[in-house]
Amino acid sequence: MKGHREHYRLPGRAVRDYLQALFWQKERRALNGQALSEAVGLMQAIARREGQEYRTSLRVAHLDGRTFLDLGTDAWEAVEVSGGDWRVIAPDACPVRFTRPPGLLPLPVPVKGGELGELSSFLNTDERGLMMCAAWLLAALSGMSPFPVLALSGEQGTGKSTAATALRNLIDPNQADRRRAPKEERDLFVGAQNGHVMSLDNLSSIPAWLSDALCVLSTGGAFTARTLYSDGEETILEAVRPVIVNGIPDLLARPDLAERALTVTLYRIPPEQRRTERTFWKAYEEARPRLLGALLTALSESLRNLDSVELKEAPRLADFARLIVAGEKALPWAEGAFMTAYGDMQTEAASTVLDGDPVAEALRRLMHDQEQWTGTVKKLLGILGEREYPDGRVPQTWPRTPRALGASLRRLAPALSKTGYTVTPAGRSKDGERYHLSKVGESTYTTFTTYTGDVSDEEKPGEHCAAEVHPPLIEVHPAPVKRPVPAPVPEMEVIHEW
Residues 385-406: pLDDT tens digits?
Answer: 999 998 888 888 899 999 999 9
Q: Which of 254-258, 269-273, 464-468 has the lowest mean pLDDT?
A: 464-468
Reported residue count of the chain is: 498
Q: Over 70: is that where the pLDDT of 80 sits?
A: yes
Q: How far apart are CA 137 and CA 293, in angstroms?
A: 12
Task: Share the mean pLDDT of the chain.
Answer: 84
Show the CA angle centred on residue 340, arms to residues 265 and 320, nearest 5°: 80
Which residues make Cβ contacts (< 8 Å) with residue 76, sequence separation at least 6? 4, 5, 6, 70, 91, 98
What local confidence, expressed as pLDDT, does residue 322 receive? 95
User: Are the beta carbons of 206 and 214 closer than 8 angstroms?
Assistant: yes
The string of DSSP letters for 185-251 reads HHHHHHHHTT-SSEEE-S-S---HHHHHHHHHHHH-EEEEEEPTT-SS-EEEEEE---EEEEESS--
Which carries the bigger pLDDT value, residue 462 or residue 135? 135
Q: Over 70: is that where the pLDDT of 108 sits?
A: yes
Query: For residue 448, what is the DSSP state?
Result: E
Provide the 3-class DSSP secondary structure of residue 115: coil
* pLDDT-derived band at 111, boundaries 50, 70, 90: very high
Q: What is the mean pLDDT of residues 116-133?
A: 94
Which carries the bigger pLDDT value, residue 488 or residue 451? 488
What local confidence, expressed as pLDDT, does residue 177 receive? 87
pLDDT tens digits, 16-31: 888 888 889 888 888 8
Sort strands 78-82 and 66-70 into parallel, antiparallel or unpaired.
antiparallel
What local confidence, expressed as pLDDT, does residue 318 receive? 92
pLDDT tens digits, 337-367: 999 999 999 888 888 888 878 999 999 899 8
Q: Which of 105-114, 286-295, 374-383, 392-401 has the lowest mean pLDDT?
A: 392-401
Provide the 3-class DSSP secondary structure of residue 359: helix
Query: For residue 367, what is the DSSP state?
Result: G
What local confidence, expressed as pLDDT, does residue 229 receive? 66
H-helix or E-strand containing 69?
strand 66-70
What local confidence, expressed as pLDDT, does residue 8 receive? 79
Q: Over 90: is that where the pLDDT of 86 sits?
A: yes
* pLDDT-derived band at 271, boundaries 50, 70, 90: confident
Q: Over 60: is that where the pLDDT of 119 sits?
A: yes
Q: Over 80: is that where the pLDDT of 213 sits?
A: yes
Terminal C-alpha separation, the chain? 23
* pLDDT-derived band at 231, boundaries 50, 70, 90: low
What local confidence, expressed as pLDDT, does residue 305 receive? 95
What local confidence, expressed as pLDDT, does residue 250 receive? 81
pLDDT tens digits, 167-183: 999 999 999 888 899 99
pLDDT tens digits, 417-445: 888 899 999 888 888 899 999 988 644 43
Q: Over 50: is that where the pLDDT of 477 sits?
A: no
C-alpha separations of 309 from 152, 219, 326 in Å: 29, 21, 6
User: Are the beta carbons of 129 and 341 closer than 8 angstroms?
Assistant: no
pLDDT over 90, % of the chain = 47
Rg (CA), the chain: 26
What local confidence, expressed as pLDDT, does residue 460 receive? 37
Which carries the bigger pLDDT value, residue 487 or residue 367? 367
Q: What is the mean pLDDT of residues 459-485?
A: 39
Provide the 3-class DSSP secondary structure of residue 146: coil
What local confidence, expressed as pLDDT, does residue 1 receive? 62
Q: Over 60: is that where the pLDDT of 464 sits?
A: no
Q: Over 90: is that where the pLDDT of 122 sits?
A: yes
